[in-house]
Amino acid sequence: MSTSRRPGARPDTVNYLPRRAPASTPEPLPFNSAMAQHGQLARLGAVLQASQQRLAVVLPALPGAMKRFVGAGGLDEEGWTLLADNAAVAAKLRQLQPHLEQLLREQGLLQGVLRIRVRQT
């Protein structure tokens, strides 16, 4: 029986298995590249970006302390959802809704309706 010895191995040690090549790990893709390469993720990324764009238009019209309690919600063919952290913020948003819709229409960002919902926690 012929055995091969690894260089530097003890003389009484026998190497029956061939050496494995070190595992190679592919380079990680940046998030935006990964999103762009996958069709559904690319569409989701575009919808998220469009929703954030609408939020950026609306935020300057909100009272200062209220801005941190408002977030961008879903965007679909029926309209856009603005999320409020609690019922009091949602009530104030509903009072401001005509003005917010006007701002969005002026920017060409509102097709359909502006929905205001309380965020579920």
pLDDT in tens, 13-35: 666 777 777 878 888 888 777 77
Any domain includes 22: no
13 phi and psi angles, rounded to 5 deg: -100, 130
Cβ contact 82:70 at 8 Å? yes
Any domain includes 3: no
pTM: 0.69
Structural domain span for residue 70: 32-118
Q: For the segment 34-51, what is each residue's pLDDT rounded down to a tens digit?
A: 777 777 877 888 889 999
Q: Which CATH number do you get for residue 61?
A: 3.30.300.180
Which pLDDT belongs to residue 2? 53
Any domain includes 82: yes
Any domain includes 55: yes
Return the residue matching tokens 């764009």: 53
Any domain includes 8: no
Our count of domains for the chain comes to 1
Any domain includes 13: no
